[in-house]
Amino acid sequence: MGSGRGSGKDAVRRPRFLGALERHPLLWGTLIGVTLVAALGCGAYLWPVPQSGRDRLATPSPPSQTLPAREPVSPAPVEGMPGSGVVAQGMVIDPDSAATSDVPVKATVTYEVASRGSVHANMEAFARQVARFLEDPRGWRSVGIEFVPVDSGGSITVWLTEDSQVPSFSSICSVGLSCSIGPDIIINEVRWVEGAPAGVMDRVPVVDYRKMVVNHEVGHWLGHHLHSSCPGPGQVAPLMMQQSKGLDGCLFNPYPLPSELSAPDLLGR
């Protein structure tokens, strides 16, 4: 296993629901009961009982940590052919936006960047692009969730993983797709390099596809345990829809919708 790691500040603050789970261990049982093993598409998501991963979570969260819903950004659909990779306005060709958010920080999530297997992509470039996605003011940052890269001890780890090694995280993860297993955000290198599976969204730029995957998988960890469906032809796809499996007539979307940003389960609210 090789590794490439980001660097940064050492601020660590956990999502409040994790603290609640420690104070009330029976909640784990509830979580286990509702563990969701979604059919592929992101490709898969599983929230297991944290064991060693739990050790990565350090200081407890402050007593109040509410995340106000942000003002809707409502990306306006553009004309096109729904389901063939049409994207919503303002989302096309957005390489490495350096824009930063001025929304006050409500919660800080630390993360590590690492690789598994024989990865050929440039890890520094990977870490840099992941950071840009997580800092993007149109993403989770828009509700005050700040992501800070750390060398070790991060709450989550974003892995760039050799295609054949993705199932090594869990049997529910598949070759050919990305995956999310508890604090492990597993980005499939083939998808990172090539973009969406052939025929799914061929008109979507790779950088936008990468952004969608990172935001989607991180969205699972933030509390979105369920996948969404396309609300109707021509509508903007929810971020938590399995867009890698097909758009079902929706417009490709790499950002959380206002409803996903204000979801009551976000960060365990």
Distance CA(64)–CA(189), nearest Å, equals 38
Residues 6+ apart with CB under 8 A from 81: none
Query: Quick check: bond before 85 cis, omega within 30?
Result: no
Shortest Cβ 174–Zn ion spacing (Å): 12
Q: Which stretch binds Zn ion (CB under 5 A): 2-10, 38-46, 56-64, 195-203?
A: 38-46
**169 sits near Zn ion (criterion: CB under 5 A):** no
Per-residue x/- mask for Zn ion, residues 117 to 156, rule CB under 5 A?
----------------------------------------
Residue closer to Zn ion by CB (options 18, 42) is: 42
**107 sits near Zn ion (criterion: CB under 5 A):** no
Shortest Cβ 269–Zn ion spacing (Å): 20
**45 sits near Zn ion (criterion: CB under 5 A):** yes
Residue closer to Zn ion by CB (options 27, 226) is: 226
Give the side-chain half-sphere CA count within 13 A for 138: 20
3-class DSSP assignment, residue 42:
coil
Residue closer to Zn ion by CB (options 67, 173) is: 173
Residue closer to Zn ion by CB (options 45, 221) is: 45
CB 139 within 8 A of CB 219: no
**42 sits near Zn ion (criterion: CB under 5 A):** yes
Q: List strands edge to edge, sheet with 145-149.
A: 44-46, 179-181, 184-188, 156-161, 107-116, 145-149
Q: Which stretch binds Zn ion (CB under 5 A): 4-12, 42-50, 74-82, 194-202?
A: 42-50
Q: DSSP alpha helices (H): ranges in the chain?
A: 16-23, 26-33, 123-135, 189-194, 206-222, 258-261
CB 241 within 8 A of CB 204: no
**261 sits near Zn ion (criterion: CB under 5 A):** no
**47 sits near Zn ion (criterion: CB under 5 A):** no
Residues forming contacts to Zn ion in the complex (CB under 5 A) are 42, 45
